[in-house]
Structure 1
Amino acid sequence: MWKTLIVDDERLARSELKRLLQAHPNIEIVAEADSADSARDILAAQPDIALVFLDIQMPGCTGLELAAELRPNLFFVFCTAFDSYALDAFALNALDYLVKPIVPQRLAQSLSRLPAAPAGVSDTSQQSYLPDHHGLLLKFGENSRIVRLSEISRFESVGNHSAVYTPYGKSFVLSSLSRIEQRLDPQQFFKASRADIIRISAITALEPGLAAGSMLAILQDGQQIDVSRRQVQQLKTLFGGF
C-alpha cells in the first residue's frame, strides 16, 4: 500500500481527488493538509508516507517550494488548475503533473509510474535511484528539451539551485545537490566534493590538484573538477586494477 498525503488549500479539490483515488486499491490516503506548514508537520509525524499529491498555488508557501524540501524517497504528483508550471515541476523530478479537473485516465497513468512497492516495504535498496534513461525537462535559454540522465556529465551546487551540464549546454534545476545525490545511482555518479557530482564514465583522466593530496578529474568535454582530499582514495579505487 502507498500511504498518501493530499496537500491542497481547497477542501472540495481534496474531496474530489480522494474520490478518484478510491478506484486504486494500492493507494491509502492517511492524511490531508490545507497548507505547506500543515504538510510539513504531517510528514514529520508520519515517516511512512511515500506519496504526496501537491497543489501548486497555496497561500504562504507554494507546492513547488514545498516539493524542493521533501525527503528524497518521496514520490510526488502536482495537481493544479494551471499548466504554466510544468517545466518547474519536472525540474523537481515530479512523478507527474496533472491539470485540474483531473481526468481519471491521466491519474491512472500517473500511478502506473510508481514502483511495485514503496521504499521500505520490500527490498528496495536501489529503488529510488533514477534509471539512466530517465528524462529531465531542462530549459536552455528560451527553449526546453528532455535530456536523459545518461547524457549528463556533471551536477554542480549553485546556491539553492544546481547546475546541470549536458551536451546541449548548462541548465539549472530547483533542487539541492544533496537531494539530487539521493536519486543518483552511485554506480554511475561520483560525489567529487560538496559542490560537484560527476558521471564516472565521463572521467578521462586524473591529475594532481593544486592543494596537497587533492586531484583534478578531467571530463570528456574538458571540464576540470576538483576532487576533495577526502574523496580522492575512493575515486582511485573506482579505477583500480586487478
Structure 2
Amino acid sequence: MSTKYSTIIIDDEPPARDRLLKLLGNFPETFHILDVAKNGREAKQKIEASNPDLIFLDIEMPEVSGFDMLKRLKTIPIVIFCTAYDQYSLKAFETNSVDYLLKPVSLERLQQSVNKLKLFSKNNASQNILELLTELSLQKEVKKMTSITVKKGEKLVFVKLEDVSHFKADERYVSVHANNDNYLIEEPLSQLEQKLPDNFLRVHRAVIINTEQVKEVQKYFNSRFVITLNNKKKSSITTGRSYNEAVKIWINI
C-alpha cells in the first residue's frame, strides 16, 4: 500500500499553483492537497496550523523567499522545491536527498519525484533540508562581493560595498550611491540582488539598501516604512508594500 502525503502548495504565481494542482491530480493515491499559499508568511501560518507531510515550495517569492520561510519553521516537512531559476546549486539539492522541479513542471518530471518519495522518511528529509540550507548559506558566503566595479569617465573604479548606502534602478540603469558620489551601472537590480551580501536588503522594486547605513526607520501609511540612510544627503526611502514582510523580519517586529 502506497503512502499518501498531506500536501500544501506554496507559490506566489496563480498559474504555477493551478498547473501544479492539475498535475498532482494524476496522483490521487500519493497526494492529499490540504491547502495552497501565495507567499512565505501565509505558508508558515498554514504549515504550523495543519502540519503537512510534504510541501511544494517556490524558492523565489516576494517578501519572504522559500529558503527564509523554511528557516523560520519549528518543524520542517518533506520539501519538493519548485523554481524557474537554475542558478541555484542543483547538485546540492541532489546530494542532500531532497527534490526540486524546474518550471514549467512536466508530468514526467513529477512522476520522478513521486518515485523518489519512496526513499524519504519525514525525519531524514527534515535533517536533509537543514543541511541543504547550511550548505547554500556557506556557498553564498564564499561568493560574497566586497566591492563593485563602476565606470567613471574612461576609468574603472572599484567601490567598496561598505561605502554604498543604496542602489536605485531608473529605466535601464542602476545608480550606485556611495559616499558623496553616484555612479551608473547597467546590471539589472534583480541580478545584483543575488550577488550582494546579506546586509543589503531590497525594500522596493527599484531600491536595495545597505542596512548597515540605516539611520532610522519610521512607520508609514498602508503598513509601509520610511527608511532614512546615514549618507551625506540623509536619503529617505519609502518601502514598497510587497517588501514589507522582509523589512519587518530585518527590524524584528
TM-score, scaled relative to structure 2: 0.44
Structure (1/2) with the larger helix percentage: 2
TM-score, scaled relative to structure 1: 0.46
